[in-house]
Amino acid sequence: MSVGRLAGAGTEAARGNGPQRARAKRAAAGRTIAERTKAERARAEGAAAEGAIAEPKTAKSATTERTTAKSATTERTTAKSATTERTTAKSATTERTAAEPATTERTRAERTTTEPATTEHTTAEPATAEDARAQSAAAGAARGRGPVADASARRKADPPSNMVIVGSSTGPAVPATAATPAADSRPVAAPDAGLFARYTRDYVAGRDGQVMILEAGCTTADDDLGVGGLRETGADIVVSLIDDDQPVTSAALGMDGSLADCVQGDLRRVPLPPRSQDIVLCSLLLQRIHNAELVLDRLVAAIRPGGLLLLHFGDRDSAAGFLDRVLPSAARRAVWRQRRPDQPGPYPAVYERLSSARGIQAYALMRELVIAERRALGGLAGTLTGPHGFLAAQKLIAWLSRGRLTAAHEELLYVLRKPEDRFARIL
């Protein structure tokens, strides 16, 4: 009985625990489903958060890419601009290269045009005044013309492209280029006396009455104006002499009796009546005095309208002028004795800016003077003697200065004309 009761009790207990286990299983299943749902929601929220973070990053990446694209576009534009500039520069270079032959041909043509006039100007003068008069008379008789007609014919014969006309006065213009350099072996000759003598002769031939000539710097005036020959033909010429008051000038005046009438003193204060001179010769004076422009102003003021200013000076921009300024006294004396034996010297080497080709050209432009003709002496142009090796030293200085100082010449001659009418046009 006890065993059966126990079996029945166990069966009932088993029957009573069945629903409990079923409920427990259902509860466990429900918890599992809830946990899965929460996990899925968490994963969904995480994915959404990651998407939200990724979107700004993507926008930033897109902005960066657009900026990079703009930079690349700018670089390409800059490269195109640089290429265009290089192309333009090449075109300009090509045009200049094409223009250079034409410029060279024009320069050669101008040289060819000016060479006949230069050749005529450099023709040797007769040895004596008698020969000059004889040749002039014979030529005049053959052509049936006098000195005035000869001068007019010579003016008309000059090439029209080489003329400067001021009112009624004419004369050859400044050549476009310097004279052709001569060989190294330079002949011993006086400084081109024919240039100033020719202009003086033409001026005297075209004037009636007395002609007044002033020589400034007479102790170094080696330029022969041919006054003696003109006086023998009947010309009435009065020559006045002035020079500075330096000791070397006084010594030179004491040695030369022909300069006894020279007025010596400060050239800024020497009495010079305005418009009292027909021709003023200033020979090797500008490079040895101070206040050269002020002195030249006084000389120009003393010239009558239509008169001539004849300048002969050492060029500041030449290698010889540089050596004259920097060489010791012994070397300067050697050069002086070679060129001017038995004469006091050398004179002081001042060389203000006026004593140069650029200085004279600027001065003539400012003072309304007409440059009728220019001539170069010394250096490679020849006609001046010097100690052995002096020309080689000039070439060396020109090379070391890279062309700033020239060895083509040492001295310059200018013929300037004062217009008769200061308001006349220069044609």
Write the pLDDT tens digit of every residue in 52-108.
544 444 445 545 556 555 655 556 655 565 555 565 555 555 555 554 554 455 545
Closest CA to 187 of 341, 391, 385: 385
CA distances from 412 to 88, 207, 221 (A): 44, 28, 14
Looking up tokens 């020979």, which residue turns up? 283
Mean pLDDT of the chain: 74
Interatomic CA distance for residues 356 and 367, integer angstroms: 16
To 5 degrees, how large is the angle CA 421–CA 424–CA 426?
130
Interatomic CA distance for residues 228 and 238, integer angstroms: 11
What phi and psi, each to the nearest 5 degrees, are found at residue 43?
A: -65, -40
- Where does residue 383 fall: left (phi above 0), alpha (psi -120 to 50 degrees), or beta otherwise? left
Containing H/E element for 232? helix 227-232
Q: Each residue of 173-209: pLDDT tens digit?
A: 333 333 333 333 333 334 444 899 999 999 999 888 9
Q: Coil, helix or strand for 337? A: helix
Closest CA to 159 of 145, 176, 182, 147: 176
Side by side, the strands of the sheet bearing 303-314 are 263-264, 237-243, 211-216, 277-283, 303-314, 411-417, 370-377
Interatomic CA distance for residues 189 and 186, integer angstroms: 9
CA distances from 248 to 36, 217, 228, 320, 322 (A): 127, 12, 28, 21, 21
What pLDDT is stored for residue 189 in this prediction? 37
Q: What is the pTM of this model?
A: 0.57
Closest CA to 411 of 195, 98, 87: 195
Closest CA to 321 of 288, 345, 361: 288
Residue 296 · residue 282 · CB < 8 Å: yes
Assigned token pair, 367: 């003072």
What pLDDT is stored for residue 175 in this prediction? 39
What pLDDT is stored for residue 108 in this prediction? 53
Q: Coil, helix or strand for 150? A: helix
- Which positions ≥6 away from 38 have C-beta within 8 Å? none
Q: Which residues of the chain carry a pLDDT beneath 70?
A: 1-18, 47-193, 422-427
